[in-house]
A and B are shown apart, each in its own frame.
Chain A
Amino acid sequence: MHKKILLISRHAPYGNSIAKDAFDAALATAIYDQDLSMLFMDDGIFQLLRDQQAQEISQKSFTSMLSALPFYDIDKLYIHQESLEQRGLTIENLIVDNATIVNSAQISNLLNHQDHILSF
């Protein structure tokens, strides 16, 4: 069965493992050939900042991990506009330059076209 799955990643990187576990789940979803979209909102936006130096705290950098998403054919990436604005960021601050910026109404519409949501 081929399902439409939206993975929502709302948590900041590094402080705990939720964001990394969300990333791993995204790769698994793509490998098992499901129709995956990925949405970054709330503090999940911080995963996308350029120039993270996670080696400073002995972790793997989200900057490089998330850059790999296209190689797994994960190309439906969405970023919540209000979350971005609340944090004083613009798309230029972020690594995923092929992502689509969506407002809350568009996200609502995105949710309502999915079979499942993987909530992180």
Chain B
Amino acid sequence: MIVPVMIFSINVQSPPSSQASYSAYQFCRALLRQGHNLHRVFFYQDGIYNATNLAAPPQDELDLYSEWQKLSKEHSVELVVCIAAALKRGLLNQEESIRYNKAGHNLAEGFTLGGLGQLIEAAAVSDRLITFGN
């Protein structure tokens, strides 16, 4: 059977403490294994917590934070974090940290901040948009 190659985008709305974030990650891995394209992973609501570089999970637990970064590195996947959701939850990049005069910044490498328009653009160009929520 010939499987069509599709463009996917993923909307992660759940924090790393919810299994939905892990499901989203496994779904991304699986679609890439099958040769589909992953246009963008958009982190919204509490999903933005997946993008912190300050989390230090115990060594005997999965480090989902690093897994997202590896995914992005290996497959050049765009990991976009909703800027409005991020700022109000205390997730900042260097630029926003300076703008709001905050003590530091904690957006992990591989992630970028972007507007909700990035979610809608992802919907516009993708064959499938899959939401993982909690």
Report the count of interface residues on B (CB-CB < 8 A): 20
B94 to chain A: which residues have CB within 8 Å? none
A25 at the interface (CB under 8 A from B): yes
A116 at the interface (CB under 8 A from B): yes
A65 at the interface (CB under 8 A from B): no
The answer on a CB contact under 8 Å between B133 and A119 is yes
B64 at the interface (CB under 8 A from A): no
B84 at the interface (CB under 8 A from A): yes
Interface of A is mostly: mixed
**CB contact between A34 and one of B11, B44, B45, B120 (< 8 Å): that residue:** B120
B113 at the interface (CB under 8 A from A): no
A90 at the interface (CB under 8 A from B): no
A1 to chain B: which residues have CB within 8 Å? 124-125
Interface string of B76-111 (1 = CB under 8 A from A): 000000001100000000000000000000000000
Chain A residue nearest to B9 in the complex (CB): A116
> Would you list which residues of chain B between 20 and 75 have a CB under 8 Å from chain A?
44-45
| Nearest Cβ on chain B to A21's Cβ, whole angstroms | 5
Residue of B13, B116, B120, B125 contacting most chain A CB atoms (<10 Å): B120
The answer on a CB contact under 8 Å between A24 and B84 is yes
A45 at the interface (CB under 8 A from B): no
Chain B residue nearest to A119 in the complex (CB): B131
Query: Contacts A21-B85, A118-B123 hold; do A28 and B45 have CB atoms under 8 A apart?
Result: no
Query: Contacts A18-B45, A21-B85 hold; do A34 and B133 have CB atoms under 8 A apart?
Result: no
A52 at the interface (CB under 8 A from B): no
Query: Contacts A24-B84, A118-B131 hold; do A17 and B45 have CB atoms under 8 A apart?
Result: yes
Chain A residues near B (Cβ < 8 Å): 1-3, 5, 17-18, 21, 24-25, 28-29, 31-32, 34, 115-120
Chain B residues near A (Cβ < 8 Å): 11, 13, 44-45, 84-85, 115-117, 119-121, 123-126, 128-129, 131, 133
